Amino acid sequence: MTRLCIAFDRLRAEEKMLKSEAESLGCQALMLDAKTAVSSTDSAPGDVIPGGRCDVVLERCVSYFRGLHMTSLLESLDVRVINAYAVAAACGNKMMMTLRLRRAGVPTPKTHFALSAEAAESVMKGAGYPLVIKPVVGSWGRGVVPIRGPDTLAAILEARSVTDGPFDRIFYLQEVIRRSEDAEGRTRDIRVITVGGEPVSAMYRMSAGGGFRANLALGGDPVACKMTPEMAELASAASDAVGGGILGVDMMEREDGRLVVHEVNNTVEFKGISKVSERNIPEAMVQFAVDAARK
C-alpha cells in the first residue's frame, strides 16, 4: 500500500478532495500540518511525518515560503516531494518564472524588471503607460494594479517605501494584454491544469463586475473550456519550462486570438475547475504521485 502524505498549512477543499481520492485508490493518506512540523539536523523522516515513513508527499501549503522550507526539509531527508523544491522556487517568484518561460520560447507578455524605485520610474518613461505592476511573490491577484499614469505610479512607489518588505524593491511591470469583452464587459483568462506535463483540464475564468482580474478568489466565475491543441501545447511547454509536476498554467487571449502564458502556479487550486471539468482532477494528481513513488 502506498503511503501518501499531504502537507498543508490551511486545510482547504482541495486537500480534502486529495485525501478522499487517495483513499479511493487504496493509498494510506497521511495529513501533515506544516505549522506543527519540527525538524533538526539529526531528524529522520519519521520525526517529521505523522505515522512515520511515507512514499511521497504532495506539498500543498498556501504560504509560498512555508511550503518552500517544508519541501527543503523533506527533500533533505530523501523524501520524494511533489512539486520539487526547484519547481516550487521558480513558480513562486514571478520574475524567475517569466524568465524561464521566455528562455524556453513560451510566449509571454512583455515584462520589465527593475530593482529600485528610480529604475521603475525609468521603465515607465521608456515603455509608456499603461503597464500592470505585480508583486513578484503573491497569489490570488492581490497587489496586481494597472498603472495608467504618473499619479498611480507615485502612490505605489510611496507605499512600497513605507512597507519596505523583502520584495518591495523588486518591480515587475508587464504589458497590458488587450482582451475582448463579452456583452457584460467581462474579460476572461484560461487556466489549464497539467499533471506530469499532460494537460488534464481547462477552464475560462470570467472577471467579476467588469474588472480586469479574473481570479476566482476575487469573485471570478469558472466556465467550462474546450481545450484546443494550442492550449494543450502551450501548457505542456510551460510545464516543461519550470520543471514539471502538478501545475496550473494561466493564459490570456490577445484580441487577435493568440495566446500568451502569464503565470504558472505551483500549489494550484482546483476546486473551481473541478466544478466544470469532465476529468477527475484530484484522482489524476494522486495517481501521478503514486506512479512517481513507485519509480
How many C-beta atoms surround the C-beta of residue 201 within 10 A? 22
Please, which residues bridge with residue 206 across strands?
188, 221
CA distance 156 to 221: 29
> What number is the average pLDDT over the span 213-223?
61
| Statement: residue 97 has pLDDT above 60 | yes
Indicate the fold that domain 179-277 takes in CATH.
D-amino Acid Aminotransferase; Chain A, domain 1 (3.30.470)
| Statement: residue 220 has pLDDT above 70 | no
Per-residue pLDDT, 254: 87
| Statement: residue 52 has pLDDT above 90 | no
Indicate the fold that domain 3-90 takes in CATH.
Rossmann fold (3.40.50)
| Statement: residue 75 has pLDDT above 60 | yes
Q: How confident is the model at residue 243 (pLDDT cuts 50, 70, 90)?
A: very high
Q: Report the candidate in 102, 29, 96, 104 with the shortest Cα–Cα distance to residue 68.
A: 96
| Statement: residue 20 has pLDDT above 70 | yes
Indicate the fold that domain 111-175 takes in CATH.
Dna Ligase; domain 1 (3.30.1490)
Per-residue pLDDT, 77: 93
Would you say 161 and 201 are in contact if contact means Cβ atoms under 8 Å apart? no
pLDDT in tens, 109-161: 999 999 999 999 999 999 999 999 999 998 877 889 999 999 999 999 999 98
Angle (CA) 138-194-276 rounded to 5° is: 90
CA distance 155 to 152: 5
| Statement: residue 218 has pLDDT above 50 | no
Per-residue pLDDT, 156: 93
Q: How confident is the model at residue 183 (pLDDT cuts 50, 70, 90)?
A: low
Q: What is the mean pLDDT of the chain?
A: 91
How many C-beta atoms surround the C-beta of residue 138 within 10 A? 15
| Cβ neighbours for 81, distance < 8 A, ≥ 6 positions apart | 56, 57, 59, 71, 74, 75
pTM: 0.91
The number of residues making up the chain comes to 295
> What number is the average pLDDT over the span 206-234?
75
**R_g of the chain, CA atoms, integer Å:** 20
- Percent of the chain scoring above 90 in pLDDT: 77
CA distance 89 to 279: 28
All CATH 3.30.470.20 domain ranges in the chain, comma separated = 179-277
